[in-house]
Amino acid sequence: MPNDHKPEIGSTIVIQKETFNAILSRLKEKGYETIGPRVKNDTLIYAPIEQMDDLPRGYITEQDAARFHLKHTGHSRYFDAIPGAQSWKQFLFPPRAELFALRKVNNLWEASTPETKTPSYAFIGVRACELAAIQIQDNIFMRSDFNDPIYRARRERVFILTVDCMYPAGTCFCVSMETGPRVKAGFDLNLTELEDVFLLTVGSEIARDLLKGIPFELASAFLLRNADQGLERAASQMGRKLDISNLPDLILNNLDHPHWQEVGARCLSCTNCTQVCPTCFCWDATDEMSLDGKETHRERVWDSCFNPGYSYQAGGNTRPTIRSRYRQWLSHKLGTWKQQNGTLGCVGCGRCITWCPAEIDLTKEIPMLQEEAR
């Protein structure tokens, strides 16, 4: 096959697994910072990866309410470990971002903005649910009437390599939320991992160029069927499920339901669910003032509707109880979000279930509203 041959957009090619290292190198040559799943301190994080050996090959994650366990099973696959607490959100919507600094000179304030180069990330191993989460955050931060310059600059530069999920975890319910396990659209490259080879579906011109000269063959019908079967099996093995047919109405019609009180008694108001959620977008801005009051640094940080100070203003706190905070979170995520953005705010990744120390599981809470509402 000639060396400058490029696959067509929409085509699926097959490459030997070790060839993937060449793709990572190409991305780095093009100036991307390649980020992917990595094992650190016996858990899974998203961090820079240099080569395939950095990926969690042979690992899986066992997940249940308030339980996460990274386990080495010794299989030979690279992308079987369902992600942990971290999500791609931290790269596009950084948890802390300096906005500007001000200095008072002759009764006027002079502004300076940090001269940081906007990073170009290549996300390696984005799950279907995670891609859906990124697309939801696009709607939040890049609206026609509002543009978050920090998010947009990062988002426009990002290269997204998605991965089809073959072995979902115990808290996964993407099938219910109709976001996975198959990646649909919005990627540069989509990777399907089979036992011996990777299938790559080309989603963008950037990806086409990237693959130029890399030895490939078009995927055979046999391999494609193999991938389909894997995805069908994955879809049947979701650890959780949620009936969304009557959302958001079920929640909006039950805002005074006694179940909110019940779950409020179990909720820690610790903010964990909102912080691990790949779609939660709340933020706060803080000033750090110098001793003489003549300089200040303004910073944007992640916030949470579970922060007791979140809805405080002079005159009182709109949501002074944990019950009201939990209701705000869930009624937003699976209710009012739809009116705001056209979709629900949940992608079924299960992070809020896994990482809630109190084992609160929205796939169990929603049916409670359903049952008792009848």
Partner 1 sequence: MDKNKPTVAVYKFSSCDGCQLSLLNMEDELLNLADAVDLAYFIEASRATKPGPYDIALVEGSVTTPHEVERIKEIRQEAKFLIALGTCATAGGVQALRNFADAGEYAKIVYDHPEYLNYLPTATPISEHVKVDLELWGCPVNKAQVIEVVVALLNNRKPNLPTYSVCLQCKRRGTICVLVDKGIPCLGPATIAGCGALCPASGRGCYGCFGPFRDANVPALTEALQKVERYPGETMRLYRGISGNAPLFVKAADAILSTGTDTRKETK
Partner 2 sequence: MVTQQIARPAAINTEHLLEPQWAEVTSITKEINDVSTYWLKFTDPAIQKAYTFEPGQFNMLYMPGFGESAISICSDSNDHSKIGHSVRFVGNVTNAIGRLKVGDVIGLRGPFGTYWPMKELEGKDVFISCGGIGLPPLRPAIYHILHNREKYGKVTLLYGARTPADLMYTNEFDDWRKANIDVQVTVDRGDSSWTGRVGVVPMWFYQFRFDSRKTAVLTCGPEIMIHFVIYEALARRIPLESIFVSMERNMKCGQGSCGHCQLGPYFICKDGPVFRFDAIQPFFNVEEF
> Which residues form the interface with partner 2 (CB under 8 A)?
99-100, 102, 104, 107-109, 111, 113, 140-141, 143, 145-150, 252, 255-256, 281-287, 289-290, 293, 295-296, 298, 300, 303, 305, 310-315, 318-321, 323-324, 327-328, 331-332, 336, 339-340
Q: Which does 152 bind (CB under 5 to 8 A by kind): partner 1, partner 2, none?
A: none
Strands 121-127 and 159-163: parallel
- Of the two residues 176 and 321, which places its CB atom closer to partner 2 in the complex? 321
Q: What is the C-alpha to C-alpha distance for residues 351 and 338, in angstroms, rounded to an integer? A: 20
Contacts of 307 (CB under 8 A, 6+ apart): 271
Stated as kind and residue range, the H or E segment containing 40 is: strand 33-40
3-state secondary structure 210-269: HCCCCCCEECCHHHHHHHHHHHHHHHHCCCCCCCCCCCCHHHHCCCCCCHHHHHHHHCCC
Q: Which does 77 bind (CB under 5 to 8 A by kind): partner 1, partner 2, none?
A: none
Shortest Å distance, C-beta 314 to partner 2: 4
- Of the two residues 207 and 267, which places its CB atom closer to partner 1 in the complex? 267
- Of the two residues 25 and 290, which places its CB atom closer to partner 1 in the complex? 290
Q: Which does 109 bind (CB under 5 to 8 A by kind): partner 1, partner 2, none?
A: partner 2
Sheet holding 295-302, edge to edge: 108-112, 96-105, 295-302, 283-289
Q: Which does 252 bind (CB under 5 to 8 A by kind): partner 2, partner 1, none?
A: partner 2
Shortest Å distance, C-beta 258 to partner 2: 13
Which residues on neighbouring strands pair with residue 36, listed in sequence order? 47
Q: What is the C-alpha to C-alpha distance for residues 158 and 130, in angstroms, rounded to an integer? A: 14
Which amino acid appears at position 50 of this protein?
A: E
**Among the listed residues 355, 366, 363, 277, the one whose alpha carbon sits nearest the alpha carbon of residue 65:** 355
Structure tokens belonging to residue 223: 């391999």
Shortest Å distance, C-beta 131 to partner 2: 22
- Of the two residues 167 and 337, which places its CB atom closer to partner 2 in the complex? 337
3-state SS assignment for residue 294: coil
User: Please, are residues 63 and 38 in contact by the beta-carbon 8 Å criterion?
Assistant: no
- Of the two residues 68 and 91, which places its CB atom closer to partner 2 in the complex? 91
Q: Which does 67 bind (CB under 5 to 8 A by kind): partner 2, partner 1, none?
A: partner 1
Q: Which does 9 bind (CB under 5 to 8 A by kind): partner 2, partner 1, none?
A: none
Q: Which does 319 bind (CB under 5 to 8 A by kind): partner 2, partner 1, none?
A: partner 2
- Of the two residues 77 and 323, which places its CB atom closer to partner 2 in the complex? 323
- Of the two residues 96 and 103, which places its CB atom closer to partner 1 in the complex? 96
Q: Which does 179 bind (CB under 5 to 8 A by kind): partner 2, partner 1, none?
A: none
- Of the two residues 59 and 216, which places its CB atom closer to partner 1 in the complex? 59
User: Please, are residues 191 and 260 in contact by the beta-carbon 8 Å criterion?
Assistant: no
Shortest Å distance, C-beta 144 to partner 2: 10
Which 8-state DSSP code applies to residue 142? B
Binding-site ranges for partner 1 (CB under 8 A)? 41-43, 45, 66-68, 84-86, 90, 95-96, 265-272, 275-276, 286-293, 301-304, 306-309, 312, 320-322, 354-355, 357-359
User: Please, are residues 82 and 168 in contact by the beta-carbon 8 Å criterion?
Assistant: yes
Q: What is the C-alpha to C-alpha distance for residues 66 and 83, in angstroms, rounded to an integer? A: 15
